[in-house]
Structure 1
Amino acid sequence: MIKNNWKATLYEGKHSFVWQNAGDLLELLAPRSGENILDIGSGTGQLTEKISQSGATVMGIDSSENMVEKAKQNYPNLQFNVVDARNFQFDTTFDAVFSNSTLHWIPEADAVIDRIAKSLKVGGRFVTEFGGKGDVQAITTALSQALKDIGITQDHPWYFPSIGEYANKLEKHGLDVNYAVLVPRPTPLADGEAGLRNWIEMFCDRFFTGITTEEKTQVISKVEEMLRPTLYQEGTWIADYWRIRIVAVKN
């Protein structure tokens, strides 16, 4: 699993699009009263709480202690736990497993899918959306180049699969894919001129291991310079997101 220094306050304050753009995904999940649902990568809890409004019993898990602590503060009546998605097991099984904007952080996709499949009831559904093939390609290419310019070689750390690649993994673990799309989602970033800088501070911590604060500032400024002609529009930075969305059922 990719380690990132998660900043819950920055996440909630400047990156609320992560959960605000998930309305269609919740419609695909279609939670029902009485169901038992697991939310993988629950972050600060906003989508977990929305699922609970259906009357379902929902548990949120996240690998970040910081995020889980904030989720518990936000929604003290819900259950949140610090759990590694590659290695979890509960005494109960679930009618559905849900995950939004999380699984691209875990390159060990087979380990996660194995846990999901084993946690689902027969006929249970897995509903997810995360970064797919081509996701933030312009940003990561510019970031890698800016780092290379100061003598650091660093490729992006995320897992961005194609539909075919990910569907094949699901089917190998007994999950039949009923729905799959890969769609562009250009995403405006909050805070005007500071938008891209905030995004990099939030999601790209791993790129800057071992470099000085001065070097980091230099790299981010270079990235902004490289991307301004294409991703800065009328005072707003636009992240070049591509999202893969999947619904699969345990056979």
Structure 2
Amino acid sequence: MSSYNWNAEDYQQNSAAQQQWACELIAKLALTGSENLLDLGCGDGKITAEIADRLPNGTVIGIDNSSSMITLARQQYPANRYPNLTFERMDARALAFENQFDVVFSNAVLHWIKDHRPVIGGLFKSLKPGGKILLQMGAKGGISAYLAVLDQILLLPEWKIYFQNFEFPYGFMGVEEYEVMLLAAGFQIQRVELIAKDALHANKEKFKGWIRTTWLPYTERVPEGEREQFIELIATRYLEKKPQDAEGRVHVPMVRLEVAAEKV
């Protein structure tokens, strides 16, 4: 997670799908306005600030492992305008909180971590008794059409040279394995379910922006001078399989894993 060079400003311009999913997830929190909340993997802080607006009598801490994301979040959502909101650089696998939060929220983040057990243990410790988690992340087998195109490209001679000893970088989980980890940490499970999503990109350029800003484990292995060519090829090959719709939009079908649990 920490080894990737996140471009916070570029991500901000190419994360419309993630933002939409976050808004849908926030609605499920049913906030009363006075909770202390942790946003795990806050990114550029846009969603974290929106949550802070909904908690006039509460507090929000946004954490992220990327220093560029935290810097941008602090610049855009300063304490003088958001007195109940703070941002900290922190690894989700080494949370430094204890009995502090009523709610932990996380959207489109945890699939960046391969072993979720230290995260889940840290979440349990971070929550007050009665505190809840609501997490959504990529699921096992949840983006198969896109990954099939990517896998084919990695076999081409001109790109294969950059992917020697490459290991699949994401921690996509299934329902049963997540339930086992939650129970082992002490959580009472409310639900763990798969939810179908359509990641919608306004046009091919926005689709390429999504590839460029969120598929760093792949793009960063390619020399910088060849990176745009690599991204263009991924986008073109994908659109041969799943063409743009009548409005020119690009659809990437996905399945997300959504987790709701409580510390009793």
TM-score by length of 1: 0.91
Range 120-129 or range 21-30, more displaced: 21-30
Residue 168 of structure 1 corresponds to which residue in structure 2?
180
AA paired with 2:128? K
Residue 240 of structure 1 corresponds to which residue in structure 2?
253
SS in 1 for 2:169: coil
Contact 1:176/1:248 (8 A) holds in 2: yes
Runs of 4+ residues deviating >4 angstroms: none
Separation (CA, whole Å) in 2 of partners of 1:213 and 1:86: 30
AA paired with 1:179? R
Separation (CA, whole Å) in 2 of partners of 1:94 and 1:213: 42
Question: For 1:59-98, what aligned pairs fall within 5 Å after superposition?
Answer: 59-77=61-79, 78-90=85-97, 93-98=100-105
RMSD after superposition: 1.9
Contact 1:2/1:106 (8 A) holds in 2: no
AA paired with 1:240? P
AA paired with 2:55? S
* Deviation at residue 118 of structure 1 after TM alignment: 0.7
AA paired with 1:149? L
Question: For 1:59-138, what aligned pairs fall within 5 Å after superposition?
Answer: 59-77=61-79, 78-90=85-97, 93-138=100-145
SS in 2 for 1:22: helix
Contact 1:187/1:240 (8 A) holds in 2: yes
Mapped pair 1:143 → 2:150: yes
Aligned residues: 250
SS in 2 for 1:161: coil
Separation (CA, whole Å) in 1 of partners of 2:262 and 2:244: 41
Distance 1:141 1:117, change over 3 A: same
Residue 54 of structure 1 corresponds to which residue in structure 2?
55
Separation (CA, whole Å) in 2 of partners of 1:87 and 1:109: 11
Q: C-alpha deviations, 1:200-245, integer Å up to 9, x for none? A: 2111122134433454344334323432133332222222221111
Contact 1:131/1:243 (8 A) holds in 2: yes
Contact 1:147/1:219 (8 A) holds in 2: no
Question: For 1:175-214, what aligned pairs fall within 5 Å after superposition?
Answer: 175-190=187-202, 192-213=203-224
Contact 1:38/1:98 (8 A) holds in 2: yes
Question: For 1:146-161, what aligned pairs fall within 5 Å after superposition?
Answer: 146-150=153-157, 151=160, 152-153=163-164, 154-161=166-173
* Deviation at residue 16 of structure 1 after TM alignment: 2.4
Q: Identify which of 219, 234, 243 aligns with 2:230.
A: 219
Separation (CA, whole Å) in 2 of partners of 1:226 and 1:155: 22
Separation (CA, whole Å) in 2 of partners of 1:202 and 1:164: 30
TM-score by length of 2: 0.87
Separation (CA, whole Å) in 2 of partners of 1:187 and 1:208: 20
AA paired with 1:73? Q
Residue 32 of structure 1 corresponds to which residue in structure 2?
32
Seq. identity, %:
32
Distance 1:132 1:2, change over 3 A: farther
Contact 2:98/2:127 (8 A) holds in 1: no
Range 241-250 or range 1-10, more displaced: 1-10
| Structure 2: unaligned runs, 5 residues or longer | 80-84
Distance 1:232 1:10, change over 3 A: farther
* Deviation at residue 34 of structure 1 after TM alignment: 2.6
| Structure 1: unaligned runs, 5 residues or longer | none
Separation (CA, whole Å) in 1 of partners of 2:230 and 2:127: 44
